Amino acid sequence: MSYEPQLEMAEPKLVPGITQRVFSGIQPTGNLHLGNYLGAIVKFVALQATHECVYCVVDEHAITAQHVQPELPQQIREVTAAFLAAGIDPAKHIVFNQSRVHQHAELAWVFNCIARLGWLNRMTQFKDKAGKDRENASLGLYAYPSLMAADILLYRATHVPVGEDQKQHLELTRDIATKFNNDFGGRIADLGLGVGETNGYFPLPEPIIQGPATRVMSLRDGAKKMSKSDPSDYSRINLNDDGDTIAQKLRKAKTDPEPLPSEEKGLEGRPEAENLVGIYAALAGSSKAAVLGDFGGGQFSAFKQALTDLAVEKLGPIGKRMKELTADPAYIDSVLRDGAERATAIAAPIMNDVKDIVGFLR
Ligand code: TYM
C-alpha cells in the first residue's frame, strides 16, 4: 500500500502574488517518535511533489530548555537522517541546520521588538515547558515562538506542515507578520517591496494540520500527547525502534474492554481506541472511518496485530536506513552544509530587505 496523503491546502492570504514555499522544522532534542513522523515528516515528504520545500533541524531551539547538551551534534545528524530515510530529497529541496544560517537569529531579534509581551504570555507551550518554576526558565524559552516566526518568515514561506501542538505558534507567526506589514507599511511601499493587493512584505503562512494523526497520543495514556520527554519509553514508538520493540509496545498499549466500534462516533470518550485507530489510518494513508469499516466489531487483539504488521512494514525500512545514514556522518554533514548554502541564498536577500525596511544601514 503506498502512502498518498490528501493534502487540501488553503490559499495563503494577504500576499497572493508570492511564490508558494513550504517551511518546517524539528528540534534535535532526542529520539524522533511516531507523533513527529505522522504529524510532520509524512507531510514533509508528500509536499515535495507540489512545492519548493525548506526543512530545518532547529538546533537553536534545541538549547532553549537545556543549554548544555553534549549529544547535540549527534542528535542534529539523527534528525537529518530521519528526514532523508523518510524520503526527503536533499538535492531537490533544502535540508539544513538552523544555526548555520545566521539570519534566523537576526530576524528573531527584529521580531522580539515587534511581538508584544502579552502575546508571548499566552503561549501554552511555554507554560507547559516552564512548569511551576517559571522564574528559572531561560529567556530563550520565552522568546522561542519569536525565533520560530523568524524561521518561517525568513523564507517568506506560505505553508507550514506541523502537528496540532504548533497551531498557536503559527497564529503568533501570523500576528507578527501582520504587525510588521502594518507598522512598516509606509517603508515597504516607499521601497517598492510590497507584494500583492495589500502591499505587505510577509505572507501570512497557513499551517497544514490535517489527516487522522495531527495529535498522536501516548500509548500508555490517551489523554497525554506522545512526546520525547515522557519518562516511559513504552509511551511512544521511536523511529529507530526495531520490529520486536514496536510489537511489544503495541501489545502493551492501553486499550479499553469494549470491541472496536463500527463508526467514528463510537470512538467518542474512548481516547486510547481513537488514538490507535488514528495511527492505523495515518500509516495506511486512509481514514478512521475506513479503518473502522474493516475492524469495527472486532476485538483489540486482532486489531493490534494488524497495526503491528503495518507499523513494522512502514517504519522498519526507515529505522534501518537511519542507522545506515548515521553511520556515515561525513555524508550527513555534507548534506547540511550544502543545504545551508542554498538556504542562505534565499534568506540573505530577505534579511537585507528587512534591514532596509527597519532602517538599519548595511
Ligand atoms: P517539535 O520538534 O516538538 O516537533 C516536530 C514536529 O512534530 C510534531 N509533533 C506531533 N505531531 C502529532 N502528534 C504528536 N504527538 C506530536 N509531537 C510532535 C510537531 O507538531 C512538529 O510539527 N516548535 C517546533 C519546531 C519548529 C518549527 C519551526 C516548526 C521551530 N521552528 C518553524 C515549524 C516551523 C517544535 O518544537 O517541534
Which CATH number covers residue 312? Answer: 1.10.240.10
Q: Tell me what pLDDT residue 203 has.
A: 92
Question: Which residues have any ligand 1 atom within 6 Å of their CB?
Answer: 23-27, 35-36, 39-40, 58, 61, 148, 151-152, 160, 162-163, 165-166, 169, 214-216, 225-226
- Joined grid coordinates for residue 232: 516511559
Across residues 338-360, what is the average pLDDT? 98
Q: How far is Cα 197 from Cα 195, in angstroms, rounded to an integer?
A: 7
CA 283 from centre of chain: 17
Number of folded domains that form the chain: 2
Across residues 107-121, what is the average pLDDT? 98
Percent of the chain with pLDDT over 70: 95
Q: Are residues 164 and 240 in the same domain?
A: no
Mutate to test the pocket of ligand 1, among 58, 123, 166, 230 (most ligand atoms within 8 A of CB): 166
Q: C-alpha angle 115/15/100, rounded to 5°?
A: 55
Does the structure show a pLDDT above 70 at 254? yes
Q: How far is Cα 128 from Cα 134, in angstroms, rounded to an integer?
A: 10
Q: Tell me what pLDDT residue 277 has.
A: 97
Catalytically annotated residues: 129, 225, 228
**Considering only CA atoms, which residue is closest to atom 34 of ligand 1?**
24
- What residues make up the domain containing 321? 233-326
Q: Tell me what pLDDT residue 1 has.
A: 38
**35 CA to centre of ligand 1 in angstroms:** 9
**Considering only CA atoms, which residue is closest to atom 14 of ligand 1?**
35
Q: Are residues 282 and 318 in the same domain?
A: yes
Q: Are residues 39 and 132 in the same domain?
A: yes
CA 219 from centre of chain: 20
Does the structure show a pLDDT above 60 at 30? yes
Q: Tell me what pLDDT residue 2 has.
A: 41
Mean model confidence pLDDT for the chain: 94
Q: Tell me what pLDDT residue 16 has.
A: 56
Per residue in 173-218, pLDDT tens? 999 999 999 999 999 999 999 987 778 999 999 999 999 999 999 9
Across residues 221-240, what is the average pLDDT? 95
Per residue in 134-162, pLDDT tens? 999 999 999 999 999 999 999 999 999 99
Q: Are residues 205 and 322 in the same domain?
A: no
Does a structural domain hold residue 13? no
pTM beyond 0.75? yes
Q: How far is Cα 202 from Cα 110, in angstroms, rounded to an integer?
A: 14
Does a structural domain hold residue 2? no
